[in-house]
Structure 1
Amino acid sequence: MTGLVNSTSYSCAVKAVNSAGTSPASTAVSVTPAAIAYATPANFAAATTRTFSANLVLVSEVKNRYRYMISDAASASSGAKYLSTGTSYSASAGYAADSTSLPTTTTYDSYLSKLFLVVPQGTTGFFRIDSHLHPNNSLDFDATDGNKLKFRNNFGKASTLYGYLTFSYDTSTKLLQAKKRYKYSYTSASNSTGGTTYTPSWTEDTSFSAAYVSFASGVYSLVSTSAAATPLYFYNSPIDLGIPTFMNPSNVTFVSNDPAPFMS
């Protein structure tokens, strides 16, 4: 049947027609055709501005390969501040480690900018902290800027090469301690396509001394003593960003090899 207009009501009845003749019409029914609702996915910038709200759940332990929101508040109150990735990027310095609260009306971006992935550092028992929105950037510190924490590029081409910190978390004191630091570097070589292949590597910074994370006056920084440190609280990600079971039905664990080389 053609020529029907969407959202317009029609009365329809059916008759059977064959060699024996035509049957009486069936009881009429009312139908209203409608357009099929479908569309391509929204672009990322548009999707992150959509309204989204969730309840944050405080965790008792930090697990590898999980995403968390990190706060100085033991309860997810309206005044709680959360570690967040800065909005401005500097090729030489990376992103700032900012502190922001959740707005009254939250969007996906309100949470995504405050989500961080905990990644194990081999068998050391420590972990690095990667930005979810900018996963090439890991938490480091700037000794030339009051030991402030900053997110720096550790997995791509960079104008200045820095490194990342690895941490331990005391579930009793709620203190986050930077245990080690690894310096980032890479070698380059021409490839068969006429471009350049970069092979990254990370070496322990033996000059680094363990330090605690402090949060004061809106600034995250490293301090030498636990007495000067700030208790920090980890909240589960309100958005499920893990690998779906149907994409990993055998529950294969992450491999331990280094990231692959990248090209330009």
Structure 2
Amino acid sequence: MFVYPKKYDVIVVGGGHAGVEAALAAARMGAQTLMLSINLDTIGQMSCNPAIGGLAKGHLTREIDALGGEMGKVTDMTGLQFRMLNTKKGPSVWAPRAQCDKKAYQFRLKWICERQANLDLKQGQTARILHKDGQVFGVETTLEVQYCAEAVIVTTGTFLRGLMHIGSNQQSGGRSGESAAMGLSSSLSEIGLELGRLKTGTPPRLLKRSINFSRTEEQAGEEPVPYFTYWKEDLFHVEQIFLPVGEIRYRFFPSLF
């Protein structure tokens, strides 16, 4: 076992959307912050869908922006198409949504984290929460490295005892190609927390050159663009693109299985 010599104010476990915002918020408030991620190359990765916003979620993104978060700004910088949904109803339920360049979004968010003062990034899988007499004092990784802090924020997303369903097959994993966090789940249960399981669906990725776009409709982005952030008017924005809209008919080819 190795105890890391620096003591932090806040440790954030997980480097997804929630983890990034939590770590940046803590660091910008002056707290010495550590963000632990299984893979530092996947900070802010858009795993399920390269879109930000939508019904309910668009409101949340703008609330994050109002509190100084980065999601809205990075979306506006890397968005490929912007639309306002639900406009047939009252303005209070209109919902902005953007389709983003998923790699540009991830790279930009990682760049921001790497340059944030008071924020350290470490690669490692958290195995357990360290606590004594009802007080949390840090975390321990699977490599038996202990990091101490006054507070621990858990933002592990789909990785806690993650179970992936691919067709009729099941396998353990946080997402394709990455292992689930099994030890941390047990640690949280030992503390007395009740764990549940939620579901998320990831659509199949389509090979662009395999699609006949002449049989689809072109959907343009909206003008003026319904951007997410209100903080900056001089952000770099990529040009909006047309996105194809089509009907999917399922076919089963026994020879492929």
Bigger share in strand: 1
Higher RCO (C-alpha under 8 Å, 6+ residues apart): 2
Greater Rg over alpha carbons, structure:
1
TM-score by length of 2: 0.22
TM-score by length of 1: 0.22
Bigger share in helix: 2
